[in-house]
Amino acid sequence: MVVALPAAPVHLTQLNVPFPGGTVVTVRASPNTDYYAWEHKQTLYAPGRRAAAVLFCWESLRFTGCEVMLARPGQLTRALPDSNVCTLLWTPDGRFLLGGGFNTLRLWNPSGGMRTAVLTPGSRHNEPPLALSLKAGVLCVQSSRIAARYTLPALQRLPGACP
């Protein structure tokens, strides 16, 4: 009798990201520890493929952590500040990268700036992260308990809810 054992999870901590023209940028997550191991979750290209956001996350019991690495051809790869988010979205012009956590919204300018908005109420264990979408130039943010609209790039909350 042959018993099949479950495969161990693949903890991909290095990724080659291809860009137009044959350029490949190697992106690395932070080092693994005894308590958690990073895993590649998503690679999201900016419009025109001028940049890519690479999301690595780890999970340990009820705790999670994520980091977003920004890759651009001919430039050093860098971790975006305060990038503990689970969902990513580029603006259509590629000028800004948006990230949604469980109750936190981030907007990064790939040149170095960042803005944050904290949504209330806070998250509860096992809730999904914020869902992000753009409608007519307005950012729609939805969770299991909130649907809000924000201006870009100021992240000012607008009255009303997204449809």
**How far apart are the C-alpha atoms of 116 and 86, rounded to whole Å?**
15
Contacts of 160 (CB under 8 A, 6+ apart): 149
**How far apart are the C-alpha atoms of 48 and 80, rounded to whole Å?**
20
pLDDT at residue 24 tops 90? yes
Predicted local distance difference test score (pLDDT) of residue 101: 87
Rounded to two decimals, the pTM is 0.85
pLDDT digits (tens, 9 = 90+) for 52-107: 999 999 887 777 889 999 999 999 999 999 888 989 999 999 999 999 988 889 99
Give the DSSP H or E segment for 90: strand 87-90
3-state helix, strand, coil in the chain (%, to 5): 5, 45, 55
Beta strands at 147-150 and 63-71: parallel, antiparallel or unpaired: unpaired
- 96, 100, 98, 70: which is closest to 86 by C-alpha? 100
pLDDT at residue 7 tops 90? no
Please, what's the b/e burial string for 17-32 (b: 16 or more CB within 10 A of its CB; e: otherwise)? bebeeeeebebebeee
Torsional class of 107: left (φ above 0), alpha (ψ -120 to 50), beta (otherwise): beta
For residue 20, say if its preceding peptide bond is cis, omega within 30 degrees of 0. no
